[in-house]
Structure formats: C-alpha cells, structure tokens
Amino acid sequence: DIQMTQSPSTLSASVGDRVTISCRASQSISGSLAWYQQKPGKAPNLLIYKASSLESGVPSRFSGSGSGTEFTLTISSLQPDDFATYYCQQYYTYATFGQGTKLEIK
Amino acid sequence: QVQLVQSGTEVKKPGASVKVSCKSSGYTFSSYGIGWVRQAPGQGLEWMGWISPYNGNTNYAQSFQGRVTMTIDTTTSTADMELRSLTSDDTAVYYCARVRAGGWFDPWGHGTLVTVSS
C-alpha cells in the first residue's frame, strides 16, 4: 500500500500569510495527487488534481506542485475563509489520503 | 448541477449491517465511478473502495475486504455501500463521491453518520 504523510499536522498562520503544506508518498506516484479542503461538519472540497491543476472555481491563491514522492500545496495570501483542514490523496494505486493538516488562525 | 444525495443517519448495534445509499444527478451516471470514503469522529479520511457503473467492477481497500459490498443501479443512478459485522470502530461519517478521470473525488455527497452502539 502507498502511504501518504503530510506535514505539518497543524499550522498556525495569519491572514495575508503565504503558507505551504507538504505531502510525501512512500513510493513514486508520478503526478497522481489531489488536494482537498474540509471545513467542520462539511464534506471535503476538491482544490487541485494532477498535482498542479486548479479545479474550476477555486481561487488562484491556491497552487500545487511536485511529482514523484514530494508534493506541496501553497496558499499565496491566506484569507479568513481558508482556515480549514487540508488533505492530500494519491490515486496512482487505488486511493490513500494523508492524515490531514489543520490550518489555524495565529 | 452535479449532486450526490445520501441516505440519512443510521444507528446500529454491534454485529449488525448497514447500507448507505447515494443518488447521483446532473451528469451521465455511467461515465464515472463512485467511491466511498469514511471519517471517524475527529479523524482523517479513509478510502473504502469504489465501483464502476459501466461494468460493476469494484476495488475494495484491504481493511474492508470481506466486510463491504458496493453495488450500483444504473436505472436509478444510485450506488449503495453495505458494511457488515459492525463494531464501535465503524462509527463514522460515510461519504460517497464521484470518481473523476484518474481517481480523484469530485463532488462529494453530504455524508451519512453511522453510529454503532449497544
């Protein structure tokens, strides 16, 4: 099974900050990676697919990069609506999610 | 718009089974798979498996093999997920989601809370 490890588990930041969340795969997954945002009591929402493709309707401050085993989600300028939990997911072999990164207000 | 509507909250006793339904609308049902993901209280997302409406083929996560069955009804655009031999560890919100292209999920259903308690 492919394991996905996100870091950090919790991130404290302020509105306007640039933040980066990392996701590492236990083996190469090429570019088969998606990122989701989840708010409390809600279903996850797709942000990025194919590692760097921005889903339609998602603000351009979100971006994804990486390939192979190392991936990054970047939010260029944090907005109040961005405080949530973020998950990466590989779909190279079946599917596996990272454990999540909770983005908190500093 | 694309929508997945799930069945309602369930309360089950240990050892019982539960079936969660997911009705799709707004797109060609047979063109996309349906995946199932669960989330225990305060925990992360766990992939359970997926099913192809095209041929009914399924792939289940190892941890659910032998205990889960996913089915599809193309006439009603509905996917079902049955989980058997429930324990308290199965208490979670269960989500269905459309599987796009290579295997990412979008959109997701609203989730179904399943509580297992004696």
Per DSSP, the three-state class of B64 is helix
Query: Three-state SS string across A54-101, please?
Result: ECCCCCCCEEEEEECCEEEEEECCCCHHHCCEEEEEECCCCCEECCCE
Neighbours of A11 (CB within 10 A): 17
Instruction: Report pLDDT digits (tens) over A64-106.
Output: 999 999 999 999 999 999 999 999 999 999 999 999 999 999 9
pLDDT of B13 strictly over 90: yes
Angle at A91 between CA A57 and CA A26, to 5 degrees: 120
Q: Tokens 């308690």 appear where?
A: B117
Instruction: Report pLDDT digits (tens) over B24-73.
Output: 999 999 999 999 999 999 999 999 999 998 889 999 999 999 999 999 99
Per DSSP, the three-state class of B88 is helix
Residue among A1, A4, A10, A36 with most chain B CBs within 10 A, to mutate: A36
Instruction: Report pLDDT digits (tens) over B73-84.
Output: 999 999 999 999
Angle at A9 between CA A92 and CA A2, to 5 degrees: 20
Q: In sequence order, which residues have a C-beta less than 8 Å from that of residue B87 and are 6 or more positions away?
A: B14, B116
Burial (0-12, 13-18, 19+ Cβ within 10 Å), B88: exposed
Interface of A with B (CB under 8 A): 1, 32, 34, 36, 38, 43-46, 49-50, 55, 87, 89, 91, 94-100
Predicted local distance difference test score (pLDDT) of residue B102: 81
DSSP state of A4: E
Predicted local distance difference test score (pLDDT) of residue B66: 96
> Smallest Cβ distance to A46: which of B37, B95, B105?
B105
Size of interface A-B (CB pairs under 8 A): 59
Predicted local distance difference test score (pLDDT) of residue A60: 98
E strand intervals along B1-118: 3-6, 10-12, 18-25, 33-39, 46-51, 58-60, 68-73, 78-83, 92-100, 104-108, 112-116
Instruction: Report pLDDT digits (tens) over A27-68.
Output: 999 999 999 999 999 999 999 999 999 999 999 999 999 999
Average pLDDT over chain A reads 97
Predicted local distance difference test score (pLDDT) of residue A90: 98
